[in-house]
Amino acid sequence: MNNKFIWLLKNSRIYKSIRSIVLRLTDSLELKVSPAFLLLSQNLEGTFNRYDAIVRYMAIEELQGANNTGLRLYHKMQRARNRYLISKGIKIKPEDTNKDGTLMTLVESFSRHGFNAKYPLTVNPQLGLVDGSHRLACALYYNVESILVEKSGSMKVDYGFDWFSRYFEPEELLLIQQQYREILKSIDINAVLNEVLSSEKQVFGRGGFYQSFEKLGLPGQRPTTERYKIYKLDQHLTPDQRVLDIGCNCGFFTLMAAENVRSAVGVEITHTLVQIAQMTQVYLGKTNIQFRLGNFNKMEFEEQFDFIFSFAVHHWLDADMKNYGKRLHGLLNAQGKVLLESQNIHKEDHDWQEKLNRFCQAGFKEIQVGRLMDDGVIERRFSVLQKTE
């Protein structure tokens, strides 16, 4: 099938009509996002994996007279990329051997007209960039307000630090990382995270974030720093521990705890909240955290933990408290601890003490108790429980 036929097909009325119907039915094949939103979406398990866009950004800078290294790095990357693709058995198109013309054309177009919505960037369902790295770099450089992306296929492309380390010298890697950090500094992270939050109606948070994150100046229904102090976690968490946060929401509490422990895993069932957590992780450069999307009841864990957070989540897991206790007991190392927090003690957990007793029957003893009304509305109880058997 030649390129001319494909062009005619994509511009035919039948194709456009079918595509329009599909878009209305799915309501998600195309979406408009900020360039910063898309940049921070480029991660694999919370680690940034599209440094190729950063090198392209540096090439654009040199074309505008802002540096004298960008084009050299860009050409080196393109040669390495072609060798890499050939080694994987992927045929290289003639137009892919030299992208200078493409880059120059895009720079000219963006500088005059901004982003052309006729040519959306292609992403996979997780918003991983499949095609459009040049356009993303241009959009970032020219501070374009929004770009159009189209979800298509499930391909995953990884040009992370490990890939670049195979082909570039340490001093070159340092330049690329410095440019990446400079771009991050220019991003309004609060605006990006609010962009994600507003993309889907949220169950918690009363129209905003459920958790605050004081480090980034983000307000929330429940103040993270204050809660950390109320629970007295500085007395329980140590640098050698592994922590599990069940129902971590947007991950801000997990991120704060991760600063004081060896590693942390956050589990959350809502896609947009995991997006927020991973974007924040990438922005902050935290590598000792894993955020997992899915239902805790159906998850398996290879490792065991030293401390588990269960913040007002048992109700949503529809958990029998004794069975829930058995599950967490099995996930803990010897002498491991659980911070078990209630829902509203005047509603869902009016029988809190009874539930707590059933949980302890699985092999726990209570070593700390407390209460809080951190959001000014819901009164809760919590207990720190230690594994005894």
- pTM higher than the cut 0.75: yes
Statement: residue 253 has pLDDT above 90 = yes
Is residue 339 within 8 Å of 234, Cβ to Cβ? no
Architecture of domain 214-387 in this structure: 3-Layer(aba) Sandwich (3.40)
Point out the least confidently predicted range of 91-95, 171-175, 301-305: 91-95
Question: What's the whole-number mean pLDDT along residues 278-304?
Answer: 95
Q: Single out the residue of 80, 131, 276 nearest to residue 196, CA to CA.
A: 276
Q: Which DSSP string do the residues of 30-75 spell out, in sequence order?
A: EEEE-HHHHHHT-EETTEE-BHHHHHHHHHHHHHTTS-SSHHHHHH
Question: What's the whole-number mean pLDDT along residues 333-344?
Answer: 97
Statement: residue 284 has pLDDT above 90 = yes
Q: Tell me what the pLDDT averaged over the chain comes to.
A: 90
Q: Provide, rounded to the nearest whole percent, the portion of the chain with pLDDT above 70.
A: 89
Statement: residue 242 has pLDDT above 80 = yes
Task: Please give the backbone phi and psi of residue 201, each rounded to the nearest 5 degrees, phi first.
Answer: -65, 130
Q: What is the pLDDT of residue 100?
A: 66
Q: What is the pLDDT of residues 2-12, one digit of tens each?
A: 545 544 554 55
Question: What's the whole-number mean pLDDT along residues 50-79?
Answer: 95
Domain boundaries, the chain: 1-27, 34-187, 214-387
Q: What is the pLDDT of residues 47-60, one digit of tens each?
A: 999 999 999 999 99
Q: What is the pLDDT of residue 7?
A: 47
Establish how many alpha carbons lie within 13 A of residue 14's alpha carbon, considering only the half-sphere containing its beta carbon: 2
